[in-house]
Amino acid sequence: MKSVRFVAVLLAVLALASPALAAREFTDDAGRKVTLPDRIERVYAAGPPASVLVLALAPDKLIGWTRHFRDDESQWVPKKYAELPELGRLTGRGSTANVEVVLKEKPDVIVDVGSTRETYASLADRVQSQTGIPYVLLDGHLETTPAQLEKLASVLGVPERGKELSAYASRIMGELRDGIAAIPMDKRPTIYYARGPQGLQTGLGGSINVEAIELLGAKNVAGGERGGLTNVGLEQVVLWDPEVIVTNDPNFYRDVWKLPVWNSVSAVRSKRVYLSPHLPFGWFDFPPGANRLIGLIWLSDILYPGTFHHDLKREVARFYKLFYQQEPTAAQVDSLLAEPGVSPR
């Protein structure tokens, strides 16, 4: 009888000591204290920015995408990651996943990167309560990208990878800030973000969708008000008369030259309308995640020609290898940069 008790006690002690059952506490950017398992092998990304970050840091832990990769997107990442299943998204516009989907996939942790406002913190608490799965919420602002990388790397158990990518992000952003600081305010262009096929949705001041403009010190013509995305009238864009237009939509870029009213805008008359590259993720937006780092390099050369002298092809190859786990071929890079609207006319 004593031997049976001894074995039972021994097994209990071993179970408590087992790394698989060990736990650690992490305070996320919403101030929530989240208890994490010691080892994390399966990660559910609640939205696209989180997907990008997990792909960069620990791709083998990512269990799926918010939506399937399209054919033109899949060639930019290793096949085994491009073919991960579509699981839907828990947060943001067009949320398609639900608690049942999450439970079925049995993740060790749920990660969201974006707003940490009370709405999102409450959602994280609710999903965590319903599923019993720890839910980590990180601040997704562009300027916090280096910190995002290190924090999520700590969560996922890959701290050295986090330091490597954080150092890269810090260097890129630091060099750009230093260069722009020397440019007088009256030499910084006004810019309008033309979102969607008509180009009449844009981001107000402080919107996560136009953070690249603000970080690069340019003047967002819609920045007089604070807020998120908004719809505007063409008459308002004409009144703003931006010197540069950046769009995420190939249809808008194709059509803007044909419309007489748009030709009254300085950016159109001077041929300074640019299409943000979008494969496999957008460089300016879509999603507003770490994918925007390469967009900062691209946009800085557009806004301040002759200031930075970036070797854009080399920078693209390096960024894609670091963050998307696959270095693109020279032909791929050429095709990406040769799309109409990407490079100066």
Provide the token pair at 323: 């963050």
* pLDDT per residue as tens digits for the range 19-57: 444 689 999 999 999 999 999 999 999 999 999 999 999
How far is 306 from 251, CA to CA, in rounded Å?
29
pLDDT at 18: 44
Same domain, 202 and 238: yes
Strand partners, 230: 202
Same domain, 33 and 107: yes
Burial 221-235 (b: 16+ CB within 10 A, else e): bbbeeeeebeebeee
pLDDT at 91: 84
Residue appearing with tokens 């900062």: 296
Asked whether residue 283 is domain-assigned, the answer is: yes
Same domain, 193 and 274: yes
pLDDT at 326: 98
Query: Coil, strand, or helix at residue 244?
Result: strand
pLDDT at 97: 67
How far is 149 from 164, CA to CA, in rounded Å?
9
Asked whether residue 10 is domain-assigned, the answer is: no
Instruction: Indicate the DSSP class of residue 247.
Output: E
Same domain, 161 and 189: no
pLDDT at 98: 79
pLDDT at 345: 60
pLDDT at 5: 52
Same domain, 99 and 158: yes
The answer to whether 210 touches 142, Cβ cutoff 8 Å, is no
Q: Looking at this protein, which amino acid is placed at residue 212?
A: A
* pLDDT per residue as tens digits for the range 187-227: 999 999 999 999 999 999 999 999 999 999 999 999 999 99
Asked whether residue 13 is domain-assigned, the answer is: no
340 sits in which H/E element: none
Q: Which residue range is the domain that position 263 belongs to? A: 184-338
The answer to whether 204 touches 227, Cβ cutoff 8 Å, is yes
Asked whether residue 15 is domain-assigned, the answer is: no
pLDDT at 344: 78
Same domain, 261 and 137: no
Same domain, 123 and 215: no
Domain end position, chosen among 145, 169, 193: 169
Same domain, 63 and 163: yes
How far is 95 from 135, CA to CA, in rounded Å?
17
Q: Which residues of the chain have a pLDDT value below 70?
A: 1-22, 93-97, 345
How far is 10 from 51, CA to CA, in rounded Å?
41
Number of domains in the chain: 2
Same domain, 144 and 214: no
How far is 204 from 206, CA to CA, in rounded Å?
6
pLDDT at 4: 42
Same domain, 146 and 104: yes
Strand partners, 26: 34
Asked whether residue 196 is domain-assigned, the answer is: yes
Same domain, 203 and 107: no
Same domain, 120 and 233: no
